[in-house]
Amino acid sequence: MASLRCVVHCFLLMFITSSVSQRSKGFNCPSLVNVKVGDSVQLICYASDDIWNVVVYDPLNGNEKIIDTYESKNVSADKRITLEIGKASPPYKSSAALNIRNVNISDAGTYIVFLHADGSFKQLGIELRVEVPYSNISMTQNQSAVFCEAQGGSVEGQIHWFDGHQRNWTKSAEMISNKMENGRFMLTSVLHLKPFSIKEKYCCTVVYRLIGNTEEMSSCISTNEKHQGPSSALLRN
Ligand SMILES: *[C@@H]1O[C@H](CO)[C@@H](O)[C@H](O)[C@H]1NC(C)=O
Ligand SMILES: *[C@@H]1O[C@H](CO)[C@@H](O)[C@H](O)[C@H]1NC(C)=O
Ligand SMILES: *[C@@H]1O[C@H](CO)[C@@H](O)[C@H](O)[C@H]1NC(C)=O
Ligand SMILES: *[C@@H]1O[C@H](CO)[C@@H](O)[C@H](O)[C@H]1NC(C)=O
Ligand SMILES: *[C@@H]1O[C@H](CO)[C@@H](O)[C@H](O)[C@H]1NC(C)=O
């Protein structure tokens, strides 16, 4: 009876010990990384033991392996994505860095990373968000209004209006923000002009956040040249 108790007890003890040690062999990956399209980015995971092998799955196709060090594949097919295993500073011992060069919109998604370190392994997901700036602003006008349109941004932005003397007309304008099918935003704003208050020049400024910074992009239109199209718009940024 006593020996049976020991078997159960010892088994439990072993189980607890092993589960504790499994946990103490820490792995640490960021859960979310933001990058601007065209930039390079590093997704770095750390382990408290030596990392032996790493497998990274394609976010667009979970069966496809971008990286698989078991098969000596440490560079992606297009050579833009490479894996480097190196030393790390305490409390960690090693790191696995997935470097992505010239990030494209299609690189966005959750990268499932399988890490095999000395005696333990773990699978973690890292979400990569690719932020896109607004592309050029287009301005048009009719007899009674000026229109401004900006598209392509990955974060909702605002359109502000100024005249040639930096006076702020934003409160007189109406802005509509549309999320397009590709997840990008299209901003359109109309500034209604009162005949007695028409200024010579109106500028439209798109204000939005990109990787933690506030970005601005402006374009102006001259209300004198009524018969010229948007080509008369002056791109300031
Ligand atoms: C990738 O693996 C090859 C051979 O296995 C090695 O020579 C090369 O240094 C590795 N590259 C990186 C970035 O770790
Ligand atoms: C970049 O992403 C866009 C949109 O997903 C895609 O159409 C294009 O082919 C990609 N370019 C490269 C070089 O992968
Ligand atoms: C920039 O604006 C012009 C004129 O409105 C347009 O033809 C062109 O497609 C735009 N470019 C981009 C990248 O949106
Ligand atoms: C100018 O555009 C606005 C908004 O679309 C419209 O309400 C207005 O009737 C137009 N004015 C002229 C003179 O075409
Ligand atoms: C212009 O007015 C808008 C709306 O009131 C405001 O959000 C924006 O900060 C103002 N811009 C400047 C440069 O004062």
Which atom of ligand 4 is the closest one to the Cα of 142? 1
Q: How far is the centre of ligand 3, averaged over its atoms, from the C-alpha of 172 (Å)?
A: 26
Residue nearest to atom 7 of ligand 3 (CA): 138
**pTM value?**
0.72
- Nearby residues of 150 by Cβ (< 8 Å), 6 or more positions away: 134, 135, 136, 137, 138, 157, 159, 186, 187, 204, 206, 217
Which residues' Cβ are closer than 6 Å to ligand 5?
Answer: 160, 168, 170-171
Ligand 1 pocket check: which of 44, 74, 79 to mutate, most ligand atoms within 8 Å of Cβ?
A: 74
The tens-digit pLDDT sequence of the chain (237 residues) is: 444 444 444 444 444 333 333 333 589 999 999 999 999 999 999 999 999 999 999 999 889 999 999 999 999 999 999 999 999 999 999 999 999 999 998 899 999 999 999 889 999 999 999 999 998 899 999 888 999 999 989 889 999 999 989 999 999 999 999 998 888 899 999 999 887 767 789 999 999 999 989 999 999 998 865 444 443 333 333
Indicate the residue type of 200.
Answer: E
Q: How many CA atoms lie within 13 A of 72 on its CB side?
A: 0
**What domains are defined for the chain?**
26-131 (2.60.40.10), 137-235 (2.60.40.10)
Characterize the bridge pairing of strands 201-210 and 213-222.
antiparallel
Q: Which strands, in side-by-side order, build the sheet including 81-87?
A: 27-28, 41-47, 94-100, 81-87
Cβ 84 under 6 angstroms from ligand 1: yes
Q: d(Cα 209, Cα 207) in Å, to the nearest integer?
A: 7
Asked if 51 and 115 count as a contact pair (C-beta separation under 8 A), the reply is: yes
Q: Is 219 in the pocket of ligand 3 (CB under 6 A)?
A: no
Taking 3-state DSSP, the helix, strand and coil percentages for the chain, each rounded to the nearest 5, stand at 15, 55, 30
Q: Which of 139, 142, 147, 192 to mutate to test the pocket of ligand 4 (most atoms within 8 A of CB)?
A: 142
Neighbours of 149 (CB within 10 A): 20
**How far, in whole angstroms, is CA 13 from its chain's centroid?**
45
Q: Is 135 in the pocket of ligand 3 (CB under 6 A)?
A: yes
**Residues 207, 209, 212: CA angle, nearest 5 degrees:** 145
Burial status of residue 227 (CB atoms within 10 A of its CB: 0-12, 13-18, 19 or more): exposed
Give the ligand 3 atom nearest the CA of 151: 14
